[in-house]
Amino acid sequence: YDNVIQPGDNPDITKERKTASFNLWKMQCFVHEGEEIVKRRKEILDFVQNCREFDDPIPAEFMSREEIIDRGARKAKAMTDNADAIDGSDFFGEGLYFQSLTIGRELHCMSLHYGMFLPTIQGQSDDDQMDEWMAPTIGRAFIGTFAQTEMGHGSNLTKLETTCTYDPKTEEFVLHTPTLTATKWWPGGLGKTSNVAVVMAQLYTNGQNMIQGPHPFFVPLRDPDTHMPYRGVTLGDIGPKFGINSNDNGFLIFDNYRIPRRNMFMRFSKVLPDGTYVKPPHAKLGFGTMVFVRSIMIKDQATQLGAAAVIGIRYSAVRRQGEINEGAGEVQVMDYRTQQFRLLPQLARAFAFLFAAYEIKTLYMDVIDQIGAGNMDLLAELHAVSSGLKSVVSWETAQGIEQLRLACGGHGYSRASAFPDIYTYAVGGCTYEGENIVMLLQVARQDAGKARVRSWRQCTDEDIIHDFEAVARKQIFATYDRLKFFETTMTKKEAWNKCSIDLCKTARMHVKLYLVKVFLKRVAACEDAACKKVMHTLAELYAFDMISSASGAFLKGGFMSEQQADLVQSDLYEMLEALRPEAVALADSWDMSDLELRSVLGRRDGNVYPALLEWAKKSQLNRTEVLPTFEKYLGPMMKEGRSHL
């Protein structure tokens, strides 16, 4: 605990750290999947802290859009210059961490170069293309992006409008934006940074649209020397967003822009020089890149929610407000039951998501191995699990961050807290729901039985899982019946649409079941008894909180009795009480340095108030005592006002 408790720390936070029942180091190793990783985190942190290239003259919060764009480009270069500091093959672990330390919660201008462009080169090129494009991609000879979404089409990729038409006379493809809504819109780094892109477009050859859905092409956009767009290419930034403004998300319009035939990615399908189209062996292979991004996203979302929980918990340990017993002095706000209820279930959620991310990573690795061996069986499962999880995790992460922010009162609204930046960054991950539910309906119809969870002290992990499974199945059963009923009077698709609210509910419950299962499984594998005990309570808090907020589903049909529902509620309060003394140490177990957190409220040392004043003094507006607005508008106005008195 040497690094975490230091002289000069806020005594309230030190007191909290001393009440924990477990060894912090052991818990950190459990949370981060092993000693080796926690040590590497320390090494990477030391490296970044000692490297002047990563310093910021002023914190990013105080910068204008132009300044954070400049910062983002500078940091992206510095980070990739120093790529040797980490294991570049481990983006899920070291890459994501390195980026958060060097750049923070901003997708920099090369995010898509590494996150989507490079994987597409790797996954979609044939051997010759790999030889040509891989070295310059790795060697930063150009900067790429991934241009898929259009102004008029996001989720429905089969209807993308950009066309790519083969011209056998010149052996070239002609890229074109036939309508305004076909304008490529949103790709990160497209506006100002990238000079090449993977462009997804409808392929036409011999006068026919040859493939269901879009096909990827390698497209040079800007002159390497002048950075000016090529003729036939119109590019720009799409303007300010909720967050992630250090990225120049862009738009792109083609006017009959020509590229060589071999710029079509040809690993899976081809167009021969005469225009003959050669089919891919498996229709869905093109979507591998999206799945990769989704898997990483779940880890990232878990980390953002974790950071918000760390900030909320630490601040609630040092913030004193109001008295519980009159005259006894103001208490730490964490002593309030309502505050515990705001903080601890969110902390539990963050762990649940982190552990789910580990599971998905493992599944992803298995899929990659199997695809390499020509086996596609697991791809559908990975697709279903990762998109279901992404939908639930991103929405609950966003909600959780806001609840934690609000739990910090007014100061949570200041960017000093980091909450606004965490929220706007994380909520970018939220998207549509409701797809990929079909798999869930395949679960067999089973009798729901009776609830086993009776009270916290008596129920086992199996009881909890049994009850979640039963309720999830009951929902699937009911939804399936409703769907079949509708199908007797309308088309399948119409019936699907009519049932879609129930389908989403069902899918969400299924994902929650998955999350509870994974959490309990992970905890069961924990080797240290003290860590295991606390983590187990946290997993139970997670499950009971979900049962409590879905009590309607559990009470339905008398599956759970009212008495059981009341017990769940009072058990929840007991769990909060049991976890109260562990809260700050559990926050510490995320091993988030002040550099990673970037939050005045979440500081390790708990000395929030002096830091808040120091931070505020850096405000753009404090550079001069009197702003130009006084001379321009307000001074003359008041002078006139005084003259009338």
x/- map, 563-592, its own copies, by CB under 8 A: --x---x---x-------------------
Give dist(CA 341, CA 400) in Å, integer. 12
410 is in an annotated binding site: no
Q: Taking CB under 8 A as the rule, does residue 284 contact its own copies?
A: no
Q: Taking CB under 8 A as the rule, does residue 353 contact its own copies?
A: no
- Taking a C-beta distance cutoff of 8 angstroms, is the pair 9, 607 a contact? yes
Residue 419 CA, distance from chain mean position: 15
Give dist(CA 20, CA 13) in Å, integer. 12
Q: 179 to each of 141, 184, 623, how far by Cα in Å?
A: 33, 11, 48
CB of 413 to its own copies, least distance (A): 5
Residue 89 or 226 having the CB closest to its own copies: 226
Q: Taking CB under 8 A as the rule, does residue 283 contact its own copies?
A: no
- Biggest alpha carbon–alpha carbon distance for the chain: 90
Residue from 162, 177, 195, 397 in contact with its own copies (CB under 8 A): 195
Residue from 285, 290, 441, 504 in contact with its own copies (CB under 8 A): 504
Give dist(CA 518, CA 41) in Å, integer. 24
- Number of Cβ within 10 Å of residue 153's Cβ equals 18
Give dist(CA 545, CA 102) in Å, integer. 36
CB of 25 to its own copies, least distance (A): 34
Residue from 55, 84, 326, 447 in contact with its own copies (CB under 8 A): 326
Q: Taking CB under 8 A as the rule, does residue 8 contact its own copies?
A: no
Residues 6+ apart with CB under 8 A from 63: 71
Residue from 58, 272, 278, 324 in contact with its own copies (CB under 8 A): 324
226 is in an annotated binding site: no
Q: Taking CB under 8 A as the rule, does residue 193 contact its own copies?
A: yes
CB of 50 to its own copies, least distance (A): 21
CB of 586 to its own copies, least distance (A): 20
Q: Taking CB under 8 A as the rule, does residue 644 contact its own copies?
A: yes
Q: Taking CB under 8 A as the rule, does residue 437 contact its own copies?
A: no
Give dist(CA 538, CA 522) in Å, integer. 12
List the catalytic residue out of 359, 433, 582, 596: 433
Residue from 36, 58, 131, 180 in contact with its own copies (CB under 8 A): 180
Q: Which two tokens stand for residue 403?
A: 């609840």
CB of 43 to its own copies, least distance (A): 26
Q: Taking CB under 8 A as the rule, does residue 430 contact its own copies?
A: yes
Of 153, 131, 295, 132, the residue nearest 220 (C-alpha): 132
Residue from 434, 443, 448, 595 in contact with its own copies (CB under 8 A): 434
Residue 538 or 576 having the CB closest to its own copies: 576
Q: Taking CB under 8 A as the rule, does residue 212 contact its own copies?
A: no
CB of 529 to its own copies, least distance (A): 30
Identify whether 433 is a catalytic site residue.
Answer: yes
Residues 6+ apart with CB under 8 A from 304: 105, 397, 401, 422, 425, 426
Residues in 52-81 that interact with its own copies by CB under 8 A:
61-62, 64-66, 69-70, 73-74, 76-77, 80
Strand partners, 165: 174, 204
Residue from 181, 209, 362, 455 in contact with its own copies (CB under 8 A): 181
| The three-state (H, E, C) secondary structure of 547-569, written as one string | HHHCHHHHHHHHCCCHHHHHHHH
Give dist(CA 413, CA 419) in Å, integer. 7
Q: Which two tokens stand for residue 487?
A: 């199908």
Residue 205 or 391 having the CB closest to its own copies: 391
Give dist(CA 183, CA 180) in Å, integer. 6
Residues 6+ apart with CB under 8 A from 156: none
Residues in 96-135 that interact with its own copies by CB under 8 A:
109, 135
Q: Taking CB under 8 A as the rule, does residue 220 contact its own copies?
A: no
Give dist(CA 395, CA 392) in Å, integer. 5
Residue from 85, 134, 290, 612 in contact with its own copies (CB under 8 A): 612
Residue for token pair 């800007």? 222
Residues in 242-281 that interact with its own copies by CB under 8 A:
242, 248, 251
Binding-site members for FAD are: 149, 188
Q: Which residues are catalytic?
A: 433
